[in-house]
Structure 1
């Protein structure tokens, strides 16, 4: 998902998107939704949260870092 789409989702959840990278913004959205802010922290890209809206992006992001 591109950053513009993430910013749109953030605004719809009441999260201010300004001056945040994609990872920080998604983690803020996760908190606003009542979830753990775990985006980008899947060891070796392995995540068991299969029903997470961010699952595929998270796995890709986690493998890069």
Structure 2
């Protein structure tokens, strides 16, 4: 997902993107949604979140 798309999602969720890097911004969105902030932590194969919005970009 492109950074502008992530910033748009952040805005919709009330998260201020500022100058955050992609990983930090996605994690902030995850926290705002009440989810575990696990993006890019190497858990994609074992997290069990197959419907996660960030799944495609996750490591």
In the superposition, the TM-score normalised over structure 1's length comes to 0.81
Q: Aligned residue pairs: how many?
A: 58
Query: Comparing both chains, which one has the higher relative contact order based on Cα–Cα distances under 8 Å and sequence gaps of 6 or more?
Result: 2
Gaps of 5+ in 1: none
CA RMSD for the aligned pairs?
1.2
More helix by share: 1
In the superposition, the TM-score normalised over structure 2's length comes to 0.88
| Poorly superposed stretches of 4+, deviation over 2 Å | 45-48
Gaps of 5+ in 2: none
